Structure 1
Amino acid sequence: MKHYDYILVGSGLYAGVFAWYAKRRGKTCLVLERRDHIGGNVYCEDVEGIHVHKYGAHIFHTSNKKVWEFVNSLAEFNRYTNSPVANYKGEMYNMPFNMNTFSKMWGVCTPAQAKARIDEQRSGVTGEPKNLEEQAISLVGRDIYEKLVKGYTEKQWGRDCRELPAFIIKRLPVRYTYDNNYFNDLYQGIPIGGYNVIIDKLFAGCDIETGVDYLENKARYDAMGDMVVYTGTIDAYFGYCFGKLEYRSLRFESEVLDEENHQGVAVVNYTDRETPYTRIIEHKHFEFGTQPRTVITREYPVSWEEGMEPYYPVNDETNQALYQRYAELAANEENVIFGGRLGEYKYYDMDKVIESAMKKAEAVFG
C-alpha cells in the first residue's frame, strides 16, 4: 500500500492550495473526494461550449494582492464585473442599491434627494433593531426593503424576516453614485476557460480518488498518510457527538435554451416571495460568450438534511456555540488540519479560503 505525506479530504480550493504548496516541497498527496469530480463547488461543466458553474455563480473578487497574483499565476482572468439585476414582479432594478436603483424606484436624480427619501423612510425604526426587518429598514428604508430585500431573504432562509436575527444583515451596500459594480474589491474577474483550469493546476501531481467517503474508511485512509487535511463537515468528523450543526442548502435546475441571449446579464435576482427560486444565472455572460445557444440555472434555497450538500453555515448563536465545542476537539486532534468552509463552519468567499489555506501552508512548510 502506497504511503503519503498528506491525505487531503475534499478537493475544493482549501485542499487545492494546500496541495500546491505541499507538492512544491516535494510532498506526496492523496486526494479523496466524495463527488465524481474534483474542484468542490467551483467545478465547471462544459455544456454547449459554455463553462457552466455547476454549484452556483462563482465570481472571483479580492483586495488581497498576494491572492490575486497567486490565482493569476494559475490562469488568466477576464475583466468580468459583477453587476446583478433584481426583478421584482417584472420591474427591473440595479444592484447593489445605487443611484440607478433610487432613480428607478422614486424618480429622484440627485444623491441628496435619494438620501432624503431613505432617511424619511427609516425614521420609523427607533432604538436597536429587534430583527432583520427592522435592521434592513433602518439601513435602506421601507420601499427598498419591501421590494428588493424581504422576499429574497425569506426565500434564502426559509423564514419570515421578523423571525430572523438583525445581525444577518449587518450592512447593505448603499451607494449614492451611478455604479453597478456589486463588489468594492480592487480585483475582480473570472478565469478564462473556467475554474477547472485552476483546479487542475492546484492538484497536479497528486493521486486522486473520486466517489469515496473518507469517514466510512477512516482507519484505512489514516494509515496511508502522515497527516490529514480535512475539509468536510467538522461535526461529521466527530460523529455528531454534540449534535448536528445547521446549514442551508441549494437545489439547481439547469436548461439549455435555443436562444442566444436570455436575460442580458449573468445574474438576475428574483426578489418577490412568490417566485420559488432566488435567482437565474445565465452562464455565458461570465465569459462574454457568443455561442448560438445559452444555458440558464435556476437556484432554489432549501433546508439542509443529511445527504444534501451543505452550502451555507447557519451562523446564529446556537450553532456558533455548538461549533466552538467541536473546534476544541479539533484543536486536540493530532496530525489533522481542519480547514475551509465546512471544516471551520464559516461562510468564506473564494479569496478568503485561498488566503486561509496559504497561511496554513506557509505555517506548515515555512
Structure 2
Amino acid sequence: MKKYDYLVVGAGLYGAVFAHEVSKRGKSCLVIDKRNHVGGNIYCENIEGINVHKYGAHIFHTNDEEIWNYVNEFAEFNRFTNSPIANFNGEIYNLPFNMNTFNKLWGVITPQEAKDRIEEQKAILKNKKPENLEEQAISLVGTDIYEKLIKGYTEKQWGRSATELPPFIIKRLPVRFTYDNNYFNDRYQGIPIGGYNVIIENLLRNCDIRLNTNYFENREELDSLAKKVLFTGMIDEYYGYKYGVLEYRSLRFDTELLQQQNYQGNAVVNYTDRETPFTRIIEHKHFEFKTSESTVITREYPMEWKSGDEPYYPVLDEKNLDIYNKYKALGEKEETLIFGGRLGEYKYYDMHNIVRAAIEKVKEEFKN
C-alpha cells in the first residue's frame, strides 16, 4: 500500500499549484525539494524587513481573469507596475521603447516623427531578410535603439556577438508610440504583499513537505512512497542524459545590503552597454513600496550553464528542441510519471502560464 497518491518533485510554483489541486480533490501528496526552502525560483528571502527576490525579479502579470482571481485566493497583491529603465553609459531611457525613449534619443515629440526616424534607420538593410539577431533588431527598431538599448544587453545575456545569434531570438520588440512606461500590457499586475512565499505556503498547507532532499539520491525509496510522480526537474537528467544534455543559460546573483534609503529610485534598471558586466540591478524594496533606512540590491550576471549550475533559460534552438522531443516521447509513454514546469517541459514559462498549465494538467489527470 502506497503512503501517498502523488510525489511532487520540486516545490516551485508548478509543483505547488499541482499539489494544491490534487489535495483539493482528496488526494495525499508529498512534496520534496533539494533546496532548503519551498517556492523554487520565486522564493523571497527577508533581509531587514525587505522581501528579496533571491533568484531574480518576479512580477506577476496576466490578462487571464480566472488566473488572477486564483492567485488572489492565496495572497493579496499590491499595485506594483513594472516600469524598468535602461542605463546606457550613464544615459537613462525608458523601457519598453516608447515616446519618452524616442524624445530622449532624438528630441522628437510626435509619434509620426518617431516612426519616420525608425523607418529612415531601418533602410540601411535595403529590405534584406535578416540573417542574424543584429539585422533582425535593426529591421524592427532601427540602428540607434539597437546600438544603445539592445546590442550590449543581448550580447551579455547570451554570451556571444549579436551577429552570431539567430534572428528568431527577437521575433518582435515592444515599440509604443505613446508616453506609457508600463512594461506589460496585461490588465492585471502586481506583487503579492509579503512576498511570493505567502502564496506557496498557502498552496502547500495540506501537503507533507521534505526539504534538502535530492530525488536522484533517494529515488527508489521516494518512488516507493507514491502511486504517481510529478517531476518538475530537468527531463534529460531524469533519463540519464541518454539522448544528450539540454542547454540553458544561467545567472549569478550578487546581493548587497546597503545602509541608505534609496539606491537607484526604481525596482529594475537594465545596463545596456557591453562594458558593464551585469545586465541589471534590482532594488527589491521598490517592489513593495517599502520605506526603510536600508536597501537591498542585486546585480545579475548572465553565465554559460554547466552541469551543477542553476538552469534558467532554455536555449530553444533546433538542436536542443530535437533532443527535447526525444525525451518528451519517452515521457508520453509513462503511466505513473508526469513531467511539468519549465525544466520538465524545457520551455520558458511566465508565472501566470505556469499556474494555468498546472491547473490544466490536474484537470487532465482527473478528467475534469
Give the TM-score of the pair, scaled to structure 2. 0.98
Match of 1:359 in 2: 360
Aligned residues: 366
Return the letter of the residue paired with 1:8: V
Return the letter of the residue paired with 2:228: M
Measured in 1, the distance between the counterparts of 2:360 and 2:25 equals 15
Taking only the aligned residue pairs, the percentage that are identical comes to 64
Residue 318 (structure 2) pairs with residue 336 (structure 1): no
Measured in 2, the distance between the counterparts of 1:50 and 1:101 equals 31
Match of 2:149 in 1: 148
- Secondary structure of the residue aligned to 1:73 is coil
Residue 245 (structure 2) pairs with residue 244 (structure 1): yes
- Secondary structure of the residue aligned to 1:229 is strand
Match of 2:6 in 1: 6
Match of 1:115 in 2: 115
Contact 2:285 2:296 in 1 (8 A): yes
Return the letter of the residue paired with 1:128: K
Q: Deviation of residue 127 (structure 1)?
A: 2.4
Q: Deviation of residue 302 (structure 1)?
A: 0.3
Q: Deviation of residue 364 (structure 1)?
A: 1.7
- Secondary structure of the residue aligned to 2:260 is coil
Residue 56 (structure 2) pairs with residue 56 (structure 1): yes
How do residues 237-316 of structure 1 correspond to structure 2 at under 5 angstroms? 237-316=238-317
Give the TM-score of the pair, scaled to structure 1. 0.99
Q: Deviation of residue 358 (structure 1)?
A: 0.7
Match of 1:197 in 2: 198
Instruction: Give the root-mean-square deviation of aligned CA atoms.
Output: 0.9
Q: Which range moved further: 75-84 or 122-131?
A: 122-131
Contact 2:2 2:227 in 1 (8 A): no
- Secondary structure of the residue aligned to 1:74 is coil
Q: Deviation of residue 115 (structure 1)?
A: 0.3
Measured in 2, the distance between the counterparts of 1:75 and 1:68 equals 11
Contact 2:2 2:224 in 1 (8 A): no
Flag structure 2 segments of 5+ consecutive residues without an equivalent: none
- Secondary structure of the residue aligned to 2:270 is strand
Any idea what the Cα deviations from partners look like across 1:44-85, whole Å, max 9, x if unmatched?
000010000000000000011111000011111001000000
Match of 1:34 in 2: 34
Match of 1:183 in 2: 184
- Secondary structure of the residue aligned to 2:72 is helix
Q: Deviation of residue 212 (structure 1)?
A: 1.1
Any idea what the Cα deviations from partners look like across 1:84-122, whole Å, max 9, x if unmatched?
000000000000000000000001111010000000001
Q: Deviation of residue 2 (structure 1)?
A: 6.9
Measured in 2, the distance between the counterparts of 1:313 and 1:324 equals 14
Measured in 2, the distance between the counterparts of 1:67 and 1:141 equals 37
Any idea what the Cα deviations from partners look like across 1:21-56, whole Å, max 9, x if unmatched?
111111111111011111000000000100000000
Measured in 1, the distance between the counterparts of 2:154 and 2:219 equals 39
Match of 1:66 in 2: 66
Return the letter of the residue paired with 2:10: G
Q: Deviation of residue 216 (structure 1)?
A: 2.1
Match of 2:81 in 1: 81
Return the letter of the residue paired with 1:59: I
- Secondary structure of the residue aligned to 1:256 is strand
Flag structure 1 segments of 5+ consecutive residues without an equivalent: none
Measured in 2, the distance between the counterparts of 1:211 and 1:10 equals 11
Return the letter of the residue paired with 1:308: D
Match of 1:91 in 2: 91
Measured in 1, the distance between the counterparts of 2:2 and 2:364 equals 26
Runs of 4+ in structure 1 off by over 2 angstroms are: none
Return the letter of the residue paired with 2:315: V
Residue 113 (structure 2) pairs with residue 102 (structure 1): no
Match of 1:174 in 2: 175
Measured in 2, the distance between the counterparts of 1:96 and 1:197 equals 30
Measured in 1, the distance between the counterparts of 2:20 and 2:123 equals 53
- Secondary structure of the residue aligned to 1:320 is helix
Any idea what the Cα deviations from partners look like across 1:294-339, whole Å, max 9, x if unmatched?
0000000000111110001000111111100110011012211100
Measured in 2, the distance between the counterparts of 1:322 and 1:122 equals 37
Match of 1:124 in 2: 124
Any idea what the Cα deviations from partners look like across 1:163-212, whole Å, max 9, x if unmatched?
00000000000000000000111110000000000000111121111111
Any idea what the Cα deviations from partners look like across 1:213-265, whole Å, max 9, x if unmatched?
11222121111100000000000000000110000000000001111011000
